[in-house]
């Protein structure tokens, strides 16, 4: 059984959002098309409490983009984003959510960031995503969404780590690109870890 994992296609990652991914809205029609092709569709949702410690606003004299040590893990500080129950955390309005079989929320622990849909950044705690996929007999996953260089990449690397046959669709992702080339670098890292790269279906 094959599943599509739609990563963090939420308002705050679209142009105009709090952590806007350049051209992020371009993935929506591509993902709508992809969702029709998979028997199982999972979606992740970045779902932070307002006190989340990945927010620069929680650290005196710190700005978004700065890097700190957060309880032993390297943490990039972000603008406040995807705050639970706020509109920025909602799925993009154009996303055909009726195709989604289940939603996994992540980043709920204020002390730990969680880019991957499977584990927090320290792999200290797992979400329900692996269990939900395995209970449906899923052995292969295809990953799309936002952002290529953070949540898509780490979801793909963890899927490979867990033994899923893993494919990414780069055209159905967009990168934050804090540094130029981060998109290409992320795709290459996924390839190097054993992931496949697939072209998007034509919209």
Q: How far apart are CA 5 and CA 31, in angstroms?
A: 10
Catalytic residue status for 82: no
Q: Which does 91 bind (CB under 5 to 8 A by kind): Zn ion, ligand VGL, none?
A: none
- Looking at the Cβ atoms of 6 and 40, the one nearer to ligand VGL is 6
Residue 166: exposure state from Cβ atoms within 10 A (0-12, 13-18, ≥19): buried
DSSP string covering 143-202, please? Answer: EEEE-IIIIIHHHHHHHHHTT-EEEEEEEEEE---SSTTHHHHHHHHHHHTT-EE-PPPP
Q: How far apart are CA 100 and CA 43, in angstroms?
A: 7
- Looking at the Cβ atoms of 122 and 137, the one nearer to ligand VGL is 122
- Looking at the Cβ atoms of 29 and 79, the one nearer to ligand VGL is 79
SS3 (DSSP) at 113: coil
The one among 38, 47, 55, 78 contacting ligand VGL by CB under 6 A = 78
SS3 (DSSP) at 62: coil
SS3 content of the chain, % helix, strand, coil (to 5): 30, 25, 45
Catalytic residue status for 185: no
- Looking at the Cβ atoms of 39 and 66, the one nearer to ligand VGL is 66
What x/- string results for residues 141 through 170 when contact with ligand VGL is judged by CB under 6 A?
-----xx--xx-------------------
SS3 (DSSP) at 44: strand
Q: At what angle do helices 182-192 and 153-161 cross, to 10 degrees?
A: 10
**CB of residue 127 vs ligand VGL: minimum separation in angstroms?**
14
The one among 8, 130, 158, 171 contacting ligand VGL by CB under 6 A = 8
172 interacts with ligand VGL by CB under 6 A: no
Size of the site for ligand VGL (CB under 6 A): 9
**CB of residue 134 vs Zn ion: minimum separation in angstroms?**
26
46 interacts with Zn ion by CB under 5 A: yes
46 interacts with ligand VGL by CB under 6 A: yes
| Contacting residues toward Zn ion, per CB under 5 A | 46
| Contacting residues toward ligand VGL, per CB under 6 A | 8, 13, 46, 78, 115, 146-147, 150-151
Residue positions annotated with a catalytic role: 8, 106, 151
């Amino acid at each position: 059984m094959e599943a599509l994992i739609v990563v963090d296609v939420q308002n705050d990652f679209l142009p105009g959002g709090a952590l806007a991914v350049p051209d992020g809205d371009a993935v929506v029609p591509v993902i709508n098309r992809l969702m029709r092709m998979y028997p199982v569709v999972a979606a992740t949702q970045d779902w932070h409490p307002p006190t989340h410690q990945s927010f620069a606003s929680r650290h005196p004299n710190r700005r978004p983009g700065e890097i700190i040590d957060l309880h032993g893990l390297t943490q990039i500080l972000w603008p406040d984003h995807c705050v639970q129950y706020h509109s920025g955390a909602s799925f993009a309005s154009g996303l055909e959510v009726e195709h989604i079989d289940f939603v996994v929320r992540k980043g709920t622990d204020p002390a730990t960031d969680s880019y991957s849909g499977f584990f927090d950044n320290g792999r200290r705690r797992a979400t329900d995503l692996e269990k939900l996929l395995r209970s449906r007999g899923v052995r292969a996953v295809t990953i799309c969404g936002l952002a290529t260089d953070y949540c898509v990449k780490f979801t793909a690397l963890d899927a490979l780590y867990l033994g899923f046959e893993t494919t990414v669709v780069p055209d159905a992702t967009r990168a934050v690109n804090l540094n130029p080339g981060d998109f290409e670098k992320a795709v290459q890292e996924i390839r190097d870890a054993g992931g496949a790269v697939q072209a998007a279906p034509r919209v």
